[in-house]
Structure 1
Amino acid sequence: MRYPPLRFVGRILYSRTALEAEKAAAKLLQILQAKKKQRGQVAIGFDIEWRPTFRKGASPHKAAVMQLCADSFHCHVMHIIHSGIPPSLQLLLEDSTFLKVGVGICGDASKVYRDYNVCIKGMDDLSDLANKKIGGDKWGLASLSEALVCKELQKPKKIRLGNWEVKVLSKEQLQYAATDAFASWHVYEVLNNLPDIIQGVMDKKNEELESIAV
């Protein structure tokens, strides 16, 4: 069955200079801190992109783009290959009280540390969370999108394997990057509201026992 495409339809906030990235991260920090006071924990869809290496044995390129999404209205796409990681963005990434979520996020965090010497703290891999909530084996973001929200996360090679180090990202690149981060946040919100498998089984058994007792 073909599902409709998953697409981020909110506002994409693009930063490509150090000043732009610092201002954007500082504002995002304020928003997240306010949300944390209201809700306790705040989840942020997280992803990175980098220019692929097609020559065998060549060193991988640095992470070029970082995407952050904490709701369905705004998504930040930061062109860190040009801006670097400014202080406010580093503060956000190193704050363990802000939960960064994504599939394979530990691998992304390791790359950010190698490339920029910034240690991302407070992470939850969506594949592991899905195993606890709905079972299965190794989930990808595309398969989770289909299973949980009945949408297809499209990954056109032309964009995915394109040059993320260009001077200015194209509209197609911005849309792709924002949608990936949004998908991570959206999938997390759905998974987080589901009971764990064991707890769900126990609840069902308790309900059956109560009905028998009555």
Structure 2
Amino acid sequence: MQQIEKEEEIFNDDKLIEIIQKIIVGVNGFVDLKQYIGTNKPSFGLIQNHFEKVLEQGNTQLFQQNIQKILEGLIQNNVQRVFIRVLFQYLKQNQDQLNLKQFQDSGIAKIWKNLQFQELNEFIILFQLQDQITEQDLLNHYLDLVQQKKFDDAFLLYQNLKLPKNYFYNLVDQMGNNKDAGKAADFIKKLNYDPENYPKIVERLEKSCIRYLSKEYSWFQCEEKLLYNQSLLVYYCEDAYYHNYKKEALSIIKRNNLLNQIKKENQKEYIKQDFQEGFEEIPNVLFVKDEFKPTEEFVNNENGVYLLCSDFGYQENQIFVVDKVDQNYFDAWKCIHSSKAVGYDCENVTPWTKLDYQGFKVCLVQIATQNHVFLFDFQRLQNHQEFKDDIRKLLENFEIPKIGLSLKDDLKHTVNHLKLKNIIVRSVIELSNCFKMLEKDPKLKSLAYITEFYFKKKLSKYETCSNWEYRPLRKAQIHYAALDAIASLHVYLKMNEINNQIIEEEKDVLQMGQ
């Protein structure tokens, strides 16, 4: 209701009509128009409505005389493009009544370079300027836009003129710095071009990724994250060595046999000297001290702070990693299909950069019953028909609630990556919605928040972005992955004790795999 009232208040304000009147009659007021649009942000339809109102007040003839001056004024004063779109829309709708061809000899063609491509295309057609603005003019304009670093306009022109690929290489080459590399990647993706043809952009993105990792994570976390991406691990070592984390960099280089992969020749020589002189290798604590408990306990000595699987009655021997279709696999599903409810969660990896076309991957599916947790190795099982059938059977089973947080996303990723079609997921319990209804909290909360609310201990998130493709999984990863599914199930059981009716009302049905 508030939004409607706000729209009506702007709509009934005569200020915009007064400004448009100034522009059409006196060819002034452009600064006022720019300020009005910037402040009030009126819609295309609202401006169009007021524009037509002014013309209906007997101003059509004056408008026709002033079209060129109005357009020049809009461009010179850098008025928001929405008004130019309204103007062109009106000209298009009324071009049979307006003699737009008369402006061909008045120099109107001179303003074409200040128009964006979509407007430019309409401009050429409306004023019939095809003979004055040639394809060569447009091509030269493209090159000028690239040199002026007006990359968005240049890209639109490239797309619409269907220029040869070498013109795109020229554009991307000009964008090969940190500031514009992300935008260049967007262009490459839109055109579905092969990233390998743009190594400068890929390198910029990867180095930017490394700077982010170095800032957000410890060196030993970075090593573990990058174990399956050698080029990024090399960049990380070069960056760490340059910033005087030499022992850490040397340790990673030695462990992963990266010396010959170092790209910076001067740095490589210094590293060789360090190797010859000898150094004390620093072990990676994640592998040396790996234990079945929250990582914070053995890395940061934060004992007694975080929830353990054992707090809910699950010992290490009750948690199983299932990575092939064998008797353990069949026993696992027998247990799951006979359960009264299951906690459901996924562990994923996300793309390192915009041009990492391998993209998002599901690595694990964790399913917790009241006595066991099964961690299904998704990468090894996803092509097995038995796994697809068992997942479908579980998701479509009305009798077994599937419980989790942001569960719709996890289920969607599972269904899409398994390429399941026409599946109805029944008895879905989204914990954030349940918590909202049960505790009268208007904001959606994380699993960590809800778990601590009910069980008074923190849920470790240390391993959230660890290397879920790494095999074998570390014990701490297994503990983390199992606990997320366990926590989901036991939060649900706790909520059921408080108010079973509310939880039952929150059961959802989702249609997926269309």
TM-score normalised by structure 2 residue count: 0.34
Letter in 2 for 1:121: R
**1:99 has 2:401 as partner:** yes
- Deviation, structure 1 residue 28: 1.6
**Structure 1 segment 37-116 matched on structure 2, within 5 A:** 42-59=340-357, 60-71=359-370, 73-84=371-382, 85-116=387-418
Cα distance change of structure 1 residues 174 and 138 upon mapping to structure 2, 3 Å threshold = same
- Deviation, structure 1 residue 30: 5.1
- Helix, strand or coil for the counterpart of 1:169? coil
Q: 1:180 aligns with which of 464, 468, 484?
A: 484
Instruction: Report the counterpart of residue 427 of structure 2 in structure 1.
Output: 122
**1:133 has 2:428 as partner:** no
Larger of the two Rg values belongs to structure: 2
Q: Note if contact 1:49-1:64 (Cα within 8 Å) is conserved in structure 2.
A: yes
Cα distance change of structure 1 residues 86 and 16 upon mapping to structure 2, 3 Å threshold = same
- Deviation, structure 1 residue 3: 7.5
Select the structure that is richer in strand.
1
- Deviation, structure 1 residue 123: 0.7
- Deviation, structure 1 residue 96: 2.6
Q: 2:458 aligns with which of 132, 152, 164?
A: 152
Letter in 2 for 1:43: A
Q: How many residues align?
A: 185
Letter in 2 for 1:87: D
Cα distance change of structure 1 residues 196 and 86 upon mapping to structure 2, 3 Å threshold = closer
- Helix, strand or coil for the counterpart of 2:401? strand
- Deviation, structure 1 residue 13: 1.4
Q: Note if contact 2:349-2:468 (Cα within 8 Å) is conserved in structure 1.
A: yes
Letter in 1 for 2:450: L
Q: Quick one: distance in 1 between partners of 2:336 and 2:409?
A: 24
Q: Quick one: distance in 1 between partners of 2:305 and 2:349?
A: 28
**1:5 has 2:310 as partner:** no
Question: Matched residues, percent identical?
Answer: 24
Per-residue CA distance 1:142-169 (angstroms, 9 max, x = gap): 000111111210100xx22122122322
Q: Note if contact 2:336-2:342 (Cα within 8 Å) is conserved in structure 1.
A: no
Identify the structure with bigger relative contact order (alpha carbons < 8 Å, sequence gap 6+). Answer: 1
Q: Quick one: distance in 2 between partners of 1:3 and 1:56?
A: 40
Q: Note if contact 2:341-2:403 (Cα within 8 Å) is conserved in structure 1.
A: yes
- The structure 1 segments of at least 4 consecutive aligned residues displaced by more than 6 Å after TM superposition are none
Instruction: Report the counterpart of residue 61 of structure 2 in structure 1.
Output: none
Q: Quick one: distance in 2 between partners of 1:20 and 1:82?
A: 16
Per-residue CA distance 1:103-157 (angstroms, 9 max, x = gap): 110111111121112444321100001111112111110000111111210100x
Q: Quick one: distance in 2 between partners of 1:126 and 1:77?
A: 21
- Deviation, structure 1 residue 57: 4.8
Per-residue CA distance 1:45-75 (angstroms, 9 max, x = gap): 110011232212534332110011121x311
Q: Quick one: distance in 1 between partners of 2:362 and 2:477?
A: 15
Q: Quick one: distance in 1 between partners of 2:472 and 2:391?
A: 20
**1:166 has 2:470 as partner:** yes
Q: Quick one: distance in 2 between partners of 1:131 and 1:94?
A: 26
Q: Quick one: distance in 2 between partners of 1:20 and 1:90?
A: 20
Cα distance change of structure 1 residues 190 and 109 upon mapping to structure 2, 3 Å threshold = same
Instruction: Report the counterpart of residue 207 of structure 1 in structure 2.
Output: none
Q: Quick one: distance in 2 between partners of 1:76 and 1:63?
A: 15
Q: 2:496 aligns with which of 180, 189, 192?
A: 192
Q: Quick one: distance in 2 between partners of 1:146 and 1:163?
A: 26
Letter in 1 for 2:395: L
- Deviation, structure 1 residue 92: 1.8
Q: Note if contact 1:18-1:82 (Cα within 8 Å) is conserved in structure 2.
A: no
Q: Note if contact 1:133-1:197 (Cα within 8 Å) is conserved in structure 2.
A: no
Instruction: Report the counterpart of residue 333 of structure 2 in structure 1.
Output: 26
Q: Note if contact 1:132-1:197 (Cα within 8 Å) is conserved in structure 2.
A: no
Tell me the C-alpha RMSD between the 2 structures. 2.4
Q: Note if contact 1:18-1:86 (Cα within 8 Å) is conserved in structure 2.
A: no
Select the structure that is richer in helix.
2
